Amino acid sequence: MTTKLEAPAQEPRNVEGGGTASLAGVSRAFGAVRALEELDLEVHAGELVAVVGPSGCGKTTLLELVCGLQTPDAGRVRADPAVLMPQRDGLLPWLRAIDNAALAVRLAGASREQARARAHPLFAAFGLEGFERARPHELSGGMRQRVAFLRTLLSGKPVLCLDEPFAALDALTRREMQDWLAQALRRERRTVLLVTHDVEEALLLADRVLLIEDGCIAYDKPFDLPRPRRRDDPELVTRRRDLLTRLGVDYDAQA
């Protein structure tokens, strides 16, 4: 049985540390396929909301609606400016790492020198010091994702929509990047919608976890375990088991 969240009465607003987003009665279809069905959702300023669910359940559609890349067939979407970080890093191979990171700043009208000056301090803060002049092919997968995340941050948008940002990485690098992202968001607080197939990733990072099934929200619960979180924390393990069961996944096979 699905549940619906009540639509907010207020308009989204920009605040320090992130913006807000709300969807009220939103439906979106692609031909005969219903991606979202009368979905209601409110995302609060500074909140990290993880969205899980089976393939094709409407997770990416939700992000693209919040970013204004799609228009709903019915209902209302109101969101502060949002930027999408897709699964693939999308770095331009002919640009150096610092110019890839500063691309949004350049597109906003800054000179190359001004854009680099904005990006440079973040390279040291995010563990990329010394790689500013590297080309994408000279970076590891995890480093490429860090550069892509810096590019997303430097867009200046208060809402970040991250679509499976670590799915293409190997298991060890993915774990390292999950820990890194948790630290990065403590430093650069934003409102985040994170789509992931990895339930453990959702629980390690999120303030709140949503499960989408058949285009509707079937599960919506806060997760206030103190940070940094441990993968073997009993509460996290219990919640992971619950979510995997809801997804029809054999927990013992995943453990």
Write the DSSP assignment of 195-216 as a string of letters: E-S-HHHHHHH-SEEEEEETTE
Q: What is the pTM of this model?
A: 0.87
**Where is pLDDT greater, at 183 or 69?**
69
Question: pLDDT tens, 188-215?
Answer: 889 999 999 999 999 999 999 999 998 9
164: pLDDT strictly greater than 80: yes
Predicted pLDDT of residue 1: 30
Whole-angstrom CA distances from 160 to 50, 123, 126, 143, 152 are: 12, 19, 17, 19, 7
Could you tell me the pLDDT band of residue 251, with boundaries at 50, 70 and 90?
low
Whole-angstrom CA distances from 24 to 21, 62, 222 are: 10, 12, 20
Nearest of 84, 60, 77, 81 to residue 22 by alpha carbon: 77
Number of residues assigned to the chain: 255
Angle CA 51–119–48, to nearest 5:
20
Side by side, the strands of the sheet bearing 21-30 are 33-43, 21-30, 74-79
Could you tell me the pLDDT band of residue 255, with boundaries at 50, 70 and 90?
low
Predicted pLDDT of residue 158: 94
**8 Å CB contact between 147 and 154:** no
Could you tell me the pLDDT band of residue 248, with boundaries at 50, 70 and 90?
confident
Which pair of structure tokens corresponds to residue 153? Answer: 């941050």
Predicted pLDDT of residue 116: 95
What is the share, in percent, of the chain residues with pLDDT greater than 90? 65
Query: What is the identity of the amino acid at 131?
Result: F
The hierarchical CATH code for the domain 15-81+158-255 is 3.40.50.300
Whole-angstrom CA distances from 55 to 23, 51, 169 are: 21, 12, 19
Could you tell me the pLDDT band of residue 184, with boundaries at 50, 70 and 90?
confident
- Enumerate the domain spans of the chain: 15-81+158-255, 91-156
Average pLDDT, the chain: 88
Predicted pLDDT of residue 253: 52
Cβ neighbours around 166 below 10 Å, total: 24
E runs forming strands in the chain: 21-30, 33-43, 48-52, 74-79, 82-85, 159-163, 191-195, 208-213, 216-222
Average pLDDT over residues 11-15: 37
Predicted pLDDT of residue 6: 32
